[in-house]
Amino acid sequence: MELKDLTPLEASLGYTFKDQSILIQALTHRSYLNEHPDFPYPHNERLEFLGDAVLELIVTEHLYRTYANPEGELTNWRAALVNAKTLAGISNQLGFEDYLLMSKGEAKDANSKARMYILANAIEAIIGAIYLDGGTEGAKGFIDKHILSHLEFILKNELYVDPKSKFQETAQDLLGVTPTYKVLEEKGPDHAKEFTVGVYLEKTLVAVGQGTSKQEAQVAAAQAGIEAKGWQVRPEKS
């Protein structure tokens, strides 16, 4: 079985592996082994476990040493930096999705929530691989360049505040109105429900969101509402 040349990926990562087999393991999803039982490398879940801990420690130390803010605020900032959505976005920027080894079924399911988690987990697995191959300094260099570099944007745009809280606080501050949410559609069997929720300011529908739970759909609607109102950066009161 011929694997892709990983040199362009290493260039994108900004790290060259001494042992490239660790990188191959980091790129191997469990589903791939189901279709290729003779593949010589294990899947990436153990590396993901390691990388998750390394990522949290390095980000936590950076926040602790750089900012004098209370623990609660630092916790929210860290969560915004290392959540699945942020990490999946970083993986797309680094362009390593084409290198992931997945089953044919997983490979086809490009736009699902499951794919987002596969990409996020692969970032953590790569961090674990870099840590094993290049130690703390190698991992820190990757995290500084590719993850902590997003912190300024997250703080400027208050992405550490969950969308429902941000939408409500901004609406109350600017308009004196508390948003309300209404389920507009509910479809699918009990084990696979999909909800469509609208967020309203008084009687005006601002935006809608979908999710597999009412809460998830409300969060999606709130995020869409923030974007619809142009509140990514909170405007000044007039």
Q: Which residues are annotated as a binding site for Mg(2+)?
A: 48, 121, 124
Closest listed residue to residue 45, CA positions, set 57, 33, 59: 33
From 5, 35, 52, 56, active-site residue: 52
Q: How far apart are CA 217 and CA 197, in angstroms?
A: 6
Residues placed in the known binding site? 48, 121, 124
Cα radius of gyration rounded to whole Å, the chain: 20
Instruction: Tell me if 181 sits within 8 A of 192, measured CB to CB.
Output: no
From 56, 97, 98, 124, active-site residue: 124
Say what the alpha-carbon torsion angle 18, 100, 160, 201 is, to the nearest 10 degrees.
170
Q: How far apart are CA 160 and CA 67, in angstroms?
A: 15
Q: Is 56 a catalytic residue?
A: no
Q: How far is CA 118 from the centre of its chain?
A: 10
Q: How far apart are CA 160 and CA 75, in angstroms?
A: 9
Instruction: Tell me if 187 sits within 8 A of 194, measured CB to CB.
Output: yes
Q: Is 193 left (phi over 0), alpha (psi -120 to 50) or beta?
A: beta
Q: Is 19 a catalytic residue?
A: no
Q: Which residues are catalytic?
A: 52, 124
